[in-house]
């Protein structure tokens, strides 16, 4: 990620006035662009927690997490849906655009951020996710997907039964 989008995300999140955890991996930011502007620190004092790494699945399953900003890699999308957490989607390459389309249009658990990210849009979408009617609907849908994922992976669920079939098939060879 270049410094421009990073700063636009930072200031949009700051302007939303919501508390947040932000994972900024140094290897995903070009050059020294991970340096955030001083006004970001001033605006987010007391409500920002920024780290280089965290156990994503554990964080997504924490009850205080209400949204997830993601590139929409398949693992992130499935972890978010399994945790019942709606997403702000900023796809970058590969399968991410397709995953974003499903999350936003078909499954109704995401809001897409334009590729040319602007702070005003980020602020608006964070507020919609956290406070708006569409955000409430997305949370409801995300919780429905969480329930379906739980049922599928439970003892007699479709995923569990298909895994058992696969194991039996492998053992029989």
Cα 38 from Cα 71, distance rounded (Å): 26
Q: What percent of the chain has pLDDT over 90?
A: 87
Contact 125, 90 (CB under 8 A): no
For residue 172, being part of any structural domain is answered with no
pLDDT in the model for residue 34: 60
Contact 23, 53 (CB under 8 A): yes
pLDDT (tens digit per residue) in 30-57: 655 567 889 999 999 999 999 989 999 9
pLDDT tops 90 at residue 153: yes
Query: Across-strand partners of 23?
Result: 51
Q: Using CB atoms within 10 A of its CB, is residue 87 exposed (0-12), middle (13-18) or buried (19+)?
A: buried
Question: 3-class DSSP state for residue 7?
Answer: helix
The stretch 5-20 carries a mean pLDDT of 96
For residue 81, being part of any structural domain is answered with yes
The stretch 125-152 carries a mean pLDDT of 98
pLDDT in the model for residue 32: 55
For residue 148, being part of any structural domain is answered with no
CATH number for the domain spanning 122: value is 3.40.50.2000
For residue 34, being part of any structural domain is answered with yes
In the structure, what pLDDT confidence band is assigned to residue 134 with cuts at 50, 70 and 90? very high
Residues 6+ apart with CB under 8 A from 90: 69, 70, 71, 72, 112, 113, 115, 117
For residue 135, being part of any structural domain is answered with yes
Number of domains composing the chain: 1
pLDDT in the model for residue 25: 82
For residue 50, being part of any structural domain is answered with yes
Q: Using CB atoms within 10 A of its CB, is residue 84 exposed (0-12), middle (13-18) or buried (19+)?
A: buried
Question: 3-class DSSP state for residue 69?
Answer: strand
pLDDT tops 80 at residue 62: yes
The structure's pTM equals 0.90
For residue 169, being part of any structural domain is answered with no
Domain with 33 in it: 5-142
Joined together, the tokens standing for residue 116 give 């040319």
For residue 93, being part of any structural domain is answered with yes
Cα 134 from Cα 156, distance rounded (Å): 34
pLDDT (tens digit per residue) in 92-109: 999 999 999 999 999 999
């Amino acid at each position: 990620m270049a410094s421009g989008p990073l700063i636009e995300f930072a200031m949009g999140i700051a302007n939303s006035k919501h508390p947040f955890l932000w994972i900024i991996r140094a290897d995903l930011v070009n050059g020294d662009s991970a340096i955030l502007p001083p006004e970001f620190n001033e605006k987010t004092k007391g409500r920002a927690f920024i780290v280089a790494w965290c156990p994503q699945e554990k964080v997504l399953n924490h009850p205080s997490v209400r949204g997830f900003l993601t590139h929409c890699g398949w693992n992130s999308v499935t972890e978010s849906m399994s945790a019942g957490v709606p997403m702000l989607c900023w796809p970058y390459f590969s399968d991410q655009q397709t995953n974003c389309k499903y999350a936003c249009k078909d499954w109704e658990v995401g809001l897409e951020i334009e590729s040319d990210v602007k702070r005003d849009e980020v602020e608006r979408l964070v507020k919609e996710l956290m406070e708006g009617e569409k955000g409430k609907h997305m949370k409801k849908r995300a919780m429905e997907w969480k329930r379906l994922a739980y049922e599928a992976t439970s003892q007699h669920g479709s995923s569990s039964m298909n895994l058992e079939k696969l194991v039996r098939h492998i053992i029989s060879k």
